[in-house]
Amino acid sequence: MQKAIIKYGALALGALAVSQPALAAPVAEAVETAAEAAAPAADAVGGGTAYIFNTLLFLIGGFLVMWMAAGFAMLEAGLVRTKNTSTQCLKNIGLYSIAGLMFWVIGYSIAYPGFGEGSLGLFGVAGFPYSMQEVGSADLDTGYSVASDWFFQMVFCATTASIVSGTVAERVKIVPFFIFVTILTAIIYPVVVSWEWGGGYLDTVHGFSDFAGSTLVHSTGGWAALVGALIIGPRLGRYGANGQVNVFPGSNIPLATLGTFILWLGWFGFNGASQLAMGTVGDASDVSKIFVNTNMAAAGGVVVAIILTQLRYKKADVTMALNGALAGLVSITAEPLAPTVGQSILIGGIGGAIVVFTVPLLDKLKIDDVVGAIPVHLIAGIWGTLIVAWTGDATFMGQLVGVVLTAVWVSLASAVIWFALKATIGVRPSEEVEMAGLDIHETGVEAYPGLANQA
């Protein structure tokens, strides 16, 4: 309606300027005033409408991030050996479900405790358990449905656990892994979230900035995975004498590629919905820019990984290209709005380079990371967090403090849990079970019958 008034006012002004030049100036001023008045109205919507759009953004973003669980499952199933595929699928659907339950019971209350004035903001709990009535409430004062916010936050929690699953694949029993996931999603991850998104120590004291979770989600999962890999040890036969590295080919590269594309798609919800609002023209435009920067960072990571592997090994490596995409996505996650498209490509491209150089480094250190999650989520997550000091509104020291504090907390807490599990119920299967494959012993189901003895 407002656009129509301005449009027809302009047409009338043109006609008036031809027939009555003396009257044209006052009418022009009136049309200009109408245009200025219309601009703010066009940029904003009513409270109820903004509430609907903001809630819809959370819900759409949430189910896209939930779909990333399928991406992790397919990526991991494609990169493990055939004799462990069924177990890996079970781990992924199990960890997603455990994360949802734990985040409702206590995780959300720890992540958003409502730190009081004067609190240092290191640990708090809002309530136990988190009330379903409160989750389902409609509060126009917040600008979005509380339930939609809880759902969006919960799927982030599940993503953190998925990162650990890929690194320690093929040599961890189901029960101890699920126990670790329970504590990771109930306590370890929520504490890190509370320091930044929950208005805690990193946010109020150091001005730490992590838009969508390069550190809070990805590096948290990466540190937990690294500690697990160190304590559990490599797969049998992975490393030989004199620095020999034995290659264990994945079961299905097309499946791993599909998983990567699913993750890429889900990342638009991961980063885009972290804008947290879509009730104004400005918010909608920002979400659009986040989509573009996210996509281009991933593309930069892929291209750099292909070029570097071609130069280094005289052939392109498809698994490096897949992880290059994911590293580019992780790298841009800490600040996907502020950078230009060119900066986003550069940030993602360096993420791809991190993968190419870190994967062989881990092998030299005899750290067995089955899917390359440590380079992708931990190292690229650190890179993406620190570079916010260049592209966003943060200081390098503030970002560094966030990286270090997260490393210390997650590593120590994870080490305690992994060592406790190792000393009590045990973490690894027997050598006979590991060599035969976990599928038949852990799930009783072979994903590829007849191929269980593949090396």
The pLDDT assigned to 455 comes to 46
* Confidence at residue 142, expressed as pLDDT on a 0 to 100 scale: 73
pLDDT for the residue numbered 146: 85
pTM recorded for the entire structure: 0.88
- Residue 450 falls within a domain, yes or no? no
Residues 243 and 100 in one domain: yes
Q: Is 452 among the domain residues?
A: no
- Would you place residue 43 in the very low, low, confident or very high pLDDT band (cuts 50, 70, 90)? low
Residue 370 in domain: yes
Tell me the CA distances in angstroms from 232 to 167, 171, 172, 181, 275, one per residue in order.
11, 8, 8, 15, 38
pLDDT at 116: 84
pLDDT of residue 3: 46
For residue range 55-79, list pLDDT tens digits in order.
999 999 999 999 999 999 999 999 9
Examine residue 451 and state whether it is found in any structural domain, yes or no.
Answer: no
Summary count for the chain: helices (H), strands (E): 21, 0
pLDDT band at 394 (very low <50, low <70, confident <90, very high): very high
Q: Do 365 and 314 fall into the same domain?
A: yes
Structure confidence by residue, pLDDT tens digits, 269-317: 999 999 999 999 999 999 999 999 999 999 999 999 999 999 999 999 9
pLDDT at 176: 98
- Does position 7 have pLDDT exceeding 90, yes or no? no
CA distances from 270 to 122, 237, 291 (A): 25, 37, 10
Does some domain include residue 184?
yes
Segment 195-208 shows an average pLDDT of 96
Q: Are 55 and 11 contained in the same domain? A: no
Sort residue 143 into left (φ over 0), alpha (ψ -120 to 50) or beta.
left
Tell whether the model's pLDDT for residue 22 goes beyond 90: no
> Are residues 27 and 82 located together in one domain of the fold?
no
- Segment 132-148 shows an average pLDDT of 70
Lowest pLDDT segment from 121-125, 216-220, 368-372: 121-125
- CATH number for the domain spanning 374: value is 1.10.3430.10
Among residues 205, 223, 201, 226, the alpha carbon closest in space to that of 214 is found at 223
- Residue 14: what pLDDT? 44
The confidence score (pLDDT) of residue 143 equals 84
pLDDT band at 196; cut points 50, 70, 90: very high
Asked if residue 271 and residue 294 are part of one domain, the reply reads yes
Length of the chain in residues, anyone?
A: 455
Task: Tell me: do 407 and 436 sit in the same domain.
Answer: yes
Beta strands in 274-405 (DSSP E): none
Query: Per-residue pLDDT tens for 86-117?
Result: 999 999 999 999 999 999 999 999 999 989 88
In a domain, 454, yes or no: no
Look up residue 142 and give its amino acid: T
Query: Which residue range is the domain that position 427 belongs to?
Result: 51-443
Could you tell me if 136 and 32 lie in one domain? no
% of the chain exceeding 90 in pLDDT: 77
Whole-number pLDDT of residue 126? 85
- Tens digit of pLDDT for each residue in 143-194? 888 889 999 999 999 999 999 999 999 999 999 999 999 999 999 999 999 9
> How high is the pLDDT of residue 241?
82
Same domain, 336 and 389: yes
Question: DSSP code of 114?
Answer: -
Mind listing the pLDDT tens digit for each residue in 333-390? Answer: 999 999 999 999 999 999 999 999 999 999 999 999 999 999 999 999 999 999 999 9
What pLDDT does residue 137 have? Answer: 58
211 and 333 Cβ atoms separated by less than 8 Å: yes
Which tokens belong to 448? 């590829």
pLDDT at 27: 40
- The proportion of the chain whose per-residue pLDDT surpasses 70, expressed as a percent, equals 85
Specify whether 126 is located in the same domain as 19. no
pLDDT at 421: 98
In a domain, 323, yes or no: yes
Same domain, 363 and 395: yes
Residues 33 and 65 in one domain: no
Distance of CA 409 to the CA centre of its chain: 19
For the chain, the domain total comes to: 2
Interhelix angle for 396-423 vs 220-232, to 10°?
40
Mean pLDDT along residues 388-414: 97
Written as one string, the DSSP assignment of 58-85 is HHHHHHHHHHHHHHHHHHHHHHS-GGGH
- Amino acid 144: pLDDT: 87
Q: Residue 12's pLDDT band (boundaries 50, 70, 90)?
A: very low
Q: Within this chain, do residues 109 and 65 fall inside the same structural domain, yes or no?
A: yes
Specify whether the CB–CB gap between 182 and 164 falls below 8 A. Answer: no
Q: Is 455 among the domain residues?
A: no
Burial of 52 (0-12, 13-18, 19+ CB in 10 A): middle
DSSP line for 377-396 = IIIHHHHHHHTHHHHSS--H
Lowest-confidence region among 223-232, 241-250, 293-302:
241-250
